[in-house]
Structure 1
Amino acid sequence: MTAAHVQGTLDDLGTPLSGVTFVVVDLETTGGSAADSAITEIGAVKVRGGEELGELGTLVDPGGPVPPFITALTGITTAMVTAAPRMDSVLPAFLEFARGSVLVAHNAPFDIGFLKAACAEHGYAWPRFTVVDTVDLARRVLSKDEVPNCKLGTLSRFFRTATEPTHRALADARATVEVLHGLIERLGSFGVTSLEEMRGFAKAPTPEQRRKRHLADDVPSAPGVYLFEDAAGEALYVGKSGDLRSRVRSYFTGSETRRRVREMVGLAERIRTIVCATGLEAEVRELRLIAEHKPRYNRRSKFPERALWLKLTAEPFPRLSIVREIRDDGARYLGPISSRRQAEEARAALHEAVPLRQCTQRITLRLVEAGRLHACALAEMGHCGAPCDGSEALEDYTAHVTAAQEIMEGDARPVVASARARIDRLSRELRYEEAAAQRDRLAAFVRAAARGQRLTAFARLRQLVAARPAFDNGWELAVVRYGRLAAAGTVPPRADPWPYVHALTATAETVFPPVGGAPGGVPLGTAQGGGATAEEMECVLRWLDLPGVRLVEVDGEWTCPAHGAEGLRGWIDNAYAAHDPKSSGRSRPLR
């Protein structure tokens, strides 16, 4: 008896994309986190089969002022939202507009996170929308030769959308609609014609990923570092994990959607692993290996030697200079700073608080007294006291230098007060772009000063021994010398920890102090691994901040200035968390 042949139904084919109703949504907010920020604008466009069915766009009163940096980014002012409807009246309208549709957003976790938080706050159950993220789709169907990143503006230019993204909700939603249509057209070349296929497409492993799965067969389940290497033994990518086997195997599954990672997996021929005693040791080894091998597929931590410093020179009339090297020359250094633009912004903020000379000419008392030097245009504009031609006495200029030294070493208040006064004045005058420039300068200075003060204090510690409770009821141990992890180990459960502590400190790496105690300075003398980089010190400091960590021994003074920039760092970081939140569509670092 032959088996009966049954014709499949249309349901077996899934939901055709041409019949799906999409609601493309975009939000503008007062910050980057739904926990402490609010929605200021909602824009949504409903489309089906390439045709627009409707739009919804409205400003929303967030219940408080719009931060100046958000106004500079979006053009949305506090005055504009004061008369706008509150979220409790806007949210029901949006939910009704989107009912029965598939939600689409660019960097969907950001927008959906805010919408879910709004529903929870106002007592609405979150409808179980099917969500499509155009960032995920773009990473899957576009190559790096076509687009350098997956930001909305980049994709808009690539697909030549009629609407340009402007950081306004409705305009960005309209641009996202056109990007979505362009991506759907690309999906057709992959044979993707249904909603179900589209959602699964971004999560499906590539044939190359499936073929290379055997590379993870012998990876141990332990904390450590892994290196993907090509046929010639060159390191392609370095990573770390608390469970090497689980992490490495994830590179060969559909959960790994990053285009660069999939390309790297295709080139890899072997995976080398280094088992570490603790997760901290694994993280530090990862940083050191990346700096040593500079793998092409790692984006962060590859060039610690490129860090910049703001230097207050040691000469009769000191000035601020941007340098790449710390020397034992009596000068003051602020940093490290990651980019030249940030260094220039920090220098500008300090110049605006303290009128130091900005010229690069060599000035000595002999040249000044001989009248051989002449003032520049900055003196005519009132931005310099002109010590070069004797208009400003040495004693007066020395007072400015002393003020700059105090700011760099611990008292950030003069720079903050000066910058905030200018920001407030420019905002009142509706000169938002200039206010944003002042904000950027202040942020660059605060971050550089906070980082430098925090790391300098840590780099001066001769030795620090710390312990953290382990998952097996034992202890993780770390020996840190001049900011560098010199040894790591563990104490078994219920064992006396002191013999392990003494053995670890006795066998720990020898580390010499950096020049002037500054982080990243050249070590005085020779050491087995040299001094610690700023990134390594920050890694260790994060570990020390974890719950349960106990200080076993501290050899040296470990303090931060009472009026330093560290107390302002959180304020700046929270403010900038919302700066261009849509840029989350950028390519993520390979971590």
Structure 2
Amino acid sequence: MRSSPAVREARLEMRARAVARRQREGVSARSAQVAGAWEAQRGFDELGRPLRDLTFCVVDLETTGNSPDNGGMITEIGAVKVRGGEVLGEFQTLVNPHTGIPPSIAVLTGITNSMVASSPTIESVLPAFLEFAEGCVLVAHNAPYDVGFLKHFAAKQERPWPRFEVLDTVKIARRVVTRDESPNHKLGSLARVFGSPTTPNHRALSDARATVDVLHGMMERLGNIGVQTLEDLSVFSAKVTTAQRKKRHLAEDLPHAPGVYLFKDEKGRVLYIGTSKDLRSRVRTYFTASETRSRMGEMVGLATTVQAIECATALEAGVRELRLIAEHKPPYNRRSRRPEKMHFVKLTREPWPRLSLVKQVLDDDADYLGPFGSRKVAEKALQALHDTFPIRQCSDRFPVLPKRTPCVLAELHRCLSPCDQSVSAETYAALVSRVRESLLHRPDEVVETVTERLTGLAEQERFEEAAVHRDRLTSYLRAAARTQRLSALTRLPDLTAIRREDDGRWAVHVVRHGRLAAAGVIPRETNAHSYVADLQLSAETVLAAPGPVPAASAEETELVLRWLESPGVRLAHIEGDWTCPVGGAGRRAAAL
């Protein structure tokens, strides 16, 4: 598509302005100062893309309204391209909006209908601007506004929007400029703070020039405290102390690879464990910007080293993280430190079975529901079962119950009362069979009973009581769904699955009795079948755990399950049947 005369004229004006801009009074001095500041920082450890090496396109728009979705049109585009503190070029053109400019906007910007009548339209201006900004980092003051207009008209023209990285000087200023320096973060106020020779006047190019000076001023200030890269600038926060930033060298030798990182103090004690797809980039954030949790700042203050453990896949990294947290119990990790603190609801194996809360699964052929993360949640699920089934709740243990006076629960018809021999062993066994069915296969009877009670309480406006029963049902369903999913994988002696990753290679995981036994990525130019066979042979030997408990923590097995259930996973090998009941608790839990 050939450019219109007006656009060609704008491009010529752009090149001419590039020369004139560099000669403007005061700008050369500021450019030299900024470039010098960046040059002086070359001795620091670089952990990202240095700001001095990037080209920024600072853009500003004038429009007829606040939103393109409500009919707002662009009337002017102004942009300045800078690199290392030096202006490389400028872009400026009026745009014919094909609609009247409101008088209030004309007064504000000085742009009138007659000025834009012979100007090019956005259909010809936008391609020229995108060509000017190609390869740059876009910068704008209140970037969502300006970039939002540009993206709107690109979509309207069915033109693909380039994958620009965007910086918002308003967002950065809120973290850099205090209220003592400026009452607000408007462009005019910030231009005065940083001594810009250009006064913003609601004309696109002037405002873009002023934004350049504000950007340079903030970069100078941030450079003094170690913010040198685009990654640092994008997520900078004033809450990160100078002491934290001084430790950024701890991330220097870490690889750009998935794995686990361990922060350690001077005595080698593990303070915190985390995982990432990119170890170096993630650890860097603890020292530069985005990690603003106070306890993490305290942890970084104590840390003297960071150990990295590379992993073949992100799943292996997640599993290793869980195992290391359970082993070291780092003081600054709040989750996964006590995987052994679990509770289960147990349906006992005895002449007159009952339900009880236990902390350990035994190899006793009993049926278990769980694990639960806390006793309180387990008690709610247990109560939902007792509300549904009149199974005995006493803790007596002997082969034959003596005849005695029944308890209150029997009088309330909440127990079949085997203690007074009013129920036969066959009838009681049928009840136990229904309980077992609800635990392992179908929760329908519990759901229907509790739901009926909920409906009755709601009709009576007894909402607090209804909430209690709702919580009981929720705890039960979640536990039943968890038990069924974990048990299905725990039963399998061996399962090998593969998935194509984003880089085109195939990730392979070997899972045995719910535990990740091996992980790898098939190298290019390698026979896939041979690689998978070798990985299976070298995988960890895993023995089955008792009952429904996996041969790993429940959290690890659930992590493995999420990967196995993710799109694109293929089963390369399996021993046994991997099935969950069709009418299981998962369906009910999702509906709830």
TM-score, normalised to structure 2, is 0.60
Give distance in 2, aligned partners of 1:477 and 1:320: 41
Residue by residue, what CA displacement relative to the aligned partner does 1:176-206 show, whole Å, maximum 9, x if unpaired?
Answer: xxxxxxxxxxx99xx7985559xx9965421
The Cα shift of 1:395 comes to 2.0
The Cα shift of 1:266 comes to 1.0
Does the 8 Å contact 1:475/1:493 carry over to 2? no
Give distance in 1, aligned partners of 2:496 and 2:563: 12
* Equivalence for 1:534: 554
Give distance in 2, aligned partners of 1:424 and 1:193: 59
Q: 1:502 and 2:522 equivalent? A: no
What is the letter of the counterpart of residue 516 of structure 2?
Answer: L
The Cα shift of 1:569 comes to 2.5
3-state DSSP class of the match of 2:287? coil
* Equivalence for 1:253: 288
The Cα shift of 1:562 comes to 1.9
Give distance in 1, aligned partners of 2:539 and 2:391: 45
The Cα shift of 1:338 comes to 0.8
* Equivalence for 2:355: 320
Query: Which residue of 563, 566, 571 maps to 2:591?
Result: 571
Residue by residue, what CA displacement relative to the aligned partner does 1:22-77 show, whole Å, maximum 9, x if unpaired?
Answer: xxxxxxxxxxxxxxxxxxxxxxxxxxxxxxxxxxxxxxxxxxxxxxxxxxxxxxxx
Q: 1:364 and 2:399 equivalent? A: yes
The Cα shift of 1:514 comes to 1.1
Query: Which residue of 439, 449, 454 maps to 1:408?
Result: 439
What is the letter of the counterpart of residue 565 of structure 2?
Answer: D
Q: 1:476 and 2:496 equivalent? A: no
3-state DSSP class of the match of 2:470? helix
The Cα shift of 1:439 comes to 0.7
3-state DSSP class of the match of 2:288? coil
Give distance in 1, aligned partners of 2:418 and 2:520: 57
Query: Which residue of 519, 536, 543 maps to 2:549?
Result: 519
What is the letter of the counterpart of residue 410 of structure 1?
Answer: H
* Equivalence for 1:528: none
Does the 8 Å contact 2:390/2:413 carry over to 1? no
3-state DSSP class of the match of 1:418? helix
What is the letter of the counterpart of residue 510 of structure 1?
Answer: T
Q: Unpaired runs of 5+ in structure 2?
A: 1-24, 27-167, 191-234
3-state DSSP class of the match of 1:219? coil
Does the 8 Å contact 2:512/2:542 carry over to 1? yes
Residue by residue, what CA displacement relative to the aligned partner does 1:211-268 show, whole Å, maximum 9, x if unpaired?
Answer: 2212111111111100001111111111111100010001112211111111111111
Q: How has the CA–CA distance of structure 1 residues 193 and 568 changed in structure 2, closer, same or farther, with 3 Å as cutoff?
A: farther
* Equivalence for 2:498: 467
Which aligned pairs between 1:477-492 and structure 2 lie closer than 5 A? 477-492=508-523
Which aligned pairs between 1:41-440 and structure 2 lie closer than 5 A? 203-365=238-400, 367-368=401-402, 371=403, 373-440=404-471
Give distance in 1, aligned partners of 2:243 and 2:379: 45
RMSD: 2.7
Q: Unpaired runs of 5+ in structure 1?
A: 5-127, 138-186, 521-530, 573-591
Query: Which residue of 556, 559, 573 maps to 2:576?
Result: 556
The Cα shift of 1:448 comes to 0.3
* Equivalence for 1:80: none
Does the 8 Å contact 1:224/1:240 carry over to 2? yes
Query: Which residue of 448, 464, 472 maps to 1:441?
Result: 472
* Equivalence for 1:546: 566
Give distance in 2, aligned partners of 1:537 and 1:194: 54
What is the letter of the counterpart of residue 300 of structure 2?
Answer: V
Does the 8 Å contact 2:256/2:281 carry over to 1? yes
Does the 8 Å contact 1:472/1:493 carry over to 2? no
The Cα shift of 1:565 comes to 0.3
Instruction: Give structure 1 regions of 4+ aligned residues with deviation exceeding 6 angstroms.
Output: none
Does the 8 Å contact 1:337/1:343 carry over to 2? yes
The Cα shift of 1:470 comes to 2.1
Larger C-alpha radius of gyration, 1 or 2?
A: 2
Give distance in 1, aligned partners of 2:395 and 2:407: 11
Give distance in 1, aligned partners of 2:467 and 2:373: 20
The Cα shift of 1:570 comes to 2.1
* Equivalence for 1:98: none
3-state DSSP class of the match of 2:308? strand
Give distance in 2, aligned partners of 1:300 and 1:284: 14
Does the 8 Å contact 2:361/2:549 carry over to 1? no
Does the 8 Å contact 1:473/1:493 carry over to 2? no
Q: How has the CA–CA distance of structure 1 residues 336 and 195 changed in structure 2, closer, same or farther, with 3 Å as cutoff?
A: farther
The Cα shift of 1:438 comes to 0.8
Does the 8 Å contact 2:326/2:337 carry over to 1? yes
Q: How has the CA–CA distance of structure 1 residues 264 and 407 changed in structure 2, closer, same or farther, with 3 Å as cutoff?
A: same
Give distance in 2, aligned partners of 1:560 and 1:203: 51
Give distance in 2, aligned partners of 1:442 and 1:243: 41
What is the letter of the counterpart of residue 402 of structure 1?
Answer: S
Give distance in 2, aligned partners of 1:193 and 1:456: 62
